[in-house]
Structure 1
């Protein structure tokens, strides 16, 4: 399952694909049939990547990707998000048996099931996530950026003129030592 680039936006329903970023914010495209593109403010918007979301577990946290894969395996009886609370809780015990009952609320279960219904028909739901191969330094291969030296016509020890420097005043000043 490839959830790379799929985000949930705080304060907005549904899921979005992260298309890009400009100086004003993130450019997002909704995953519903309307394919609405929006620009959200960088400073006020909180984005949560679906591949980074976890569900509280008894011992260790459960990855959302694993929970969605379990829901996909049990897709014959996936309830609607507006189903009875007891039906949601019993279904969630099947697909995420190690989840913490005290910390995972019914609203969280509804949100995950809603997300499943959005994602189940998309092609990225059936494709594998891209493999990340660490290089010798342990940095993700795709995140590593090679810095190329800048081509300059000046020698490296030459100072660039300061934009705030004021021109020297020509005055008849003599320096006197010992005064």
Structure 2
């Protein structure tokens, strides 16, 4: 699953794809049907990459990617807008059985379900996540590029 570049912005509904950066902030494109492009100011907005989000667990935190993988295998999802908190909690116990029930609220569960509904129409679930960049290898690549430019 490849969630790199998919972010949530505090105070804005939905999810966004990071498409660039300018002097004042990040350029984002909404993942809904409107595909609205916005610039989010670095100093005033908080963004969270879905790749880095974790959920409170009883022992260790649970990665959002792992929860999405389990949700992907299910045939039906609860309706986050209509179903009761008890039904949402029962569903979440199925996909994340070791989550901390005291610190993971119904609003968090609703948000995760809504994010999954947005993302399930994209090919992200079939893509492999890119390997993390190795700082040493990046430094070697830059050194090679400088040497080639010097010739």
- Give TM-score scaled by structure 1 length: 0.75
In the alignment, what sits opposite 1:102?
102
Query: Aligned pairs, how many?
Result: 145
Matched, 1:67 2:63: no
In the alignment, what sits opposite 2:51?
51
Say which one has the larger Rg: 1
In the alignment, what sits opposite 1:146?
142
Query: Residues 123 and 56 of structure 1: is their aligned pair in 2 closer, same or farther, counting only changes over 3 Å?
Result: same
- Give TM-score scaled by structure 2 length: 0.89
Per-residue deviation, 1:47: 0.6
Per-residue deviation, 1:50: 0.2
CA contact (8 A) 1:57 1:100 kept: yes
Structure having greater relative contact order (Cα 8 Å, sep ≥ 6): 2
In 2, Cα distance between the equivalents of 1:13 and 1:145?
39
Query: Residues 142 and 54 of structure 1: is their aligned pair in 2 closer, same or farther, counting only changes over 3 Å?
Result: farther
In the alignment, what sits opposite 2:86?
86
Q: Which runs of 4+ in 1 moved over 4 A?
A: 140-145
Q: SS of 1:29's equivalent?
A: strand
Per-residue deviation, 1:78: 0.7
Please give the per-residue CA displacement for 1:46-100, whole angstroms capped at 9, x wherever unaligned: 11000000000000000000001111111x1210111111110000000000100
In the alignment, what sits opposite 2:15?
15
CA contact (8 A) 1:132 1:141 kept: no
Q: SS of 1:52's equivalent?
A: coil
Please give the per-residue CA displacement for 1:9-48, whole angstroms capped at 9, x wherever unaligned: 0000000000010002110000001100001111001110
Q: SS of 2:87's equivalent?
A: helix
In the alignment, what sits opposite 1:163?
none
Q: Which is richer in helix?
A: 2
Query: Residues 111 and 15 of structure 1: is their aligned pair in 2 closer, same or farther, counting only changes over 3 Å?
Result: same
